[in-house]
A and B are shown apart, each in its own frame.
Chain A
Amino acid sequence: GQQVMQIPQYQHVQEGEDFTTYCNSSTTLSNIQWYKQRPGGHPVFLIQLVKSGEVKKQKRLTFQFGEAKKNSSLHITATQTTDVGTYFCAGGFSSNTGKLIFGQGTTLQVKP
């Protein structure tokens, strides 16, 4: 079945260090979206990637979609305490539906 695997599950970094989370799908994705969830909050949309090999940047965040549209990554440069939270990737497998398959998420802790 359709699965999206995300690693690592947890990451503890010192403030100022970089952070990366990876997503991998068992089958080709139509698109991939990234969300951030703060403790006690709900997922907040960050970005969506649709094209093969696409790279998008948002300030210190860089998002990549693999050439085969099966994997994706989120890289944060020089983490800050405000980056704390759980980052989810969510794969869309069909252009005809809004159904998303979420990865398990990576929880980021940043030590000041």
Chain B
Amino acid sequence: KAGVTQTPRYLIKTRGQQVTLSCSPISGHRSVSWYQQTPGQGLQFLFEYFSETQRNKGNFPGRFSGRQFSNSRSEMNVSTLELGDSALYLCASSELRGQGKTQYFGPGTRLLVL
């Protein structure tokens, strides 16, 4: 099976702009989670989607939003970009939700905000 794919892989934006990142999970996987990785804060949970519904949300401002489509593909959006939003955004998919479900990470989208 193909792994988790994320597009674009690299992105440069300026402050105030908005950005949309895309994630295609492994075929058959219905759960998608998003994480932000920065050198200072490490890997932080953004949100989890299952069956097109947001099931869990991390401690991020409302500028961060996401959605999941009927084919399990997911997008996340960041509006009014700030310098501190520069990070590696990782998407992870798993077959189901819940305890002990292995999450498979994509290669990430590296966002640089200038």
Contact = CB atoms under 8 A, between A and B. Distances in A.
Chain A contact residues: over half helix, strand or loop, or mixed?
A: loop
Please report whether the interface of chain B is mostly helix, strand, loop or mixed according to DSSP: strand
A102 interface: yes
A43 to B, nearest CB: 5
Interface residues of A, number: 26
Interface in A91-110: 92, 94-105
Interface in A62-112: 88, 90, 92, 94-105
B107 A104 contact: no
Contacts of A96: 97-99
A21 interface: no
Given A100-B45, A102-B42, A104-B42, A95 B98 contact: yes
B31 interface: yes
B66 interface: no
Contacts of B104: 45
B112 interface: no
Interface residues of B, number: 27
Interface string A35-46: 100000111110
Interface of B: 31, 33, 35, 42-45, 48, 50, 55-56, 58, 88, 90, 94, 97-108
7 contacts: A30-B100, A33-B103, A48-B102, A94-B99, A98-B50, A102-B44, A105-B43
Given A48-B100, A97-B56, A98-B97, 18 more contacts: A41-B107, A43-B90, A50-B100, A88-B43, A90-B43, A92-B100, A95-B98, A96-B97, A96-B99, A98-B103, A99-B48, A99-B56, A100-B103, A101-B45, A102-B45, A104-B42, A105-B42, A105-B43
